[in-house]
Amino acid sequence: MIGRETEITDPNNSKHYRYQYKDMEVVITKGIVTGFVSKTNNVATKRGIRQGSTLRDVLDNYGDSSMKFSYDESVLYEYRFASLDNKSCLLRIAIKNDRVEYISGRLE
């Protein structure tokens, strides 16, 4: 379990509330989880990828992404998937120095 939030913000006054937890940020819009960003290696994907995993681990588990681009000092690998209720989602894995820097996901 992720425990109790430490802070709730809406930085752009957009009704996309950001709930801060020790290990992750969760974005909630109209009562629905619409995104998350990992903060520590305690957050992992279903396939075991977490902060600190190697690029090789990512490629072995998810394959090379057709949606790959540079952002700041990282390379972002993005993978599309469907949620349990069949909504289009995006998993982003940020790589810096051949290691996972963070993992995020969101509804599209």
24 belongs to a structural domain: yes
Query: What band does 94 get if pLDDT is binned at 50, 70 and 90?
Result: very high
Residue 55's domain is classified under what CATH number? 3.40.33.10
1 belongs to a structural domain: no
9: CB partners within 8 A, 6+ apart: 17, 18, 20
Per-residue pLDDT tens over the stretch 30-64: 999 999 999 999 999 999 999 999 999 999 999 99
Number of domains in the chain: 1
21 belongs to a structural domain: yes
53: CB partners within 8 A, 6+ apart: 99, 100
What are the b/e assignments for 61-70, b being 16+ CB within 10 Å?
ebeebeeeee
Is the pLDDT confidence value at 1 over 80? no
Measured distance CA(23)–CA(107) in Å, rounded? 20
Is the pLDDT confidence value at 90 over 80? yes
Instruction: Determine the structural domain holding residue 25 and report its residue range.
Output: 7-107
Per-residue pLDDT tens over the stretch 8-36: 999 888 899 999 999 999 999 999 999 99
| Strand duo 88-96 + 74-82: pairing | antiparallel
Task: Determine the pLDDT at residue 13.
Answer: 87
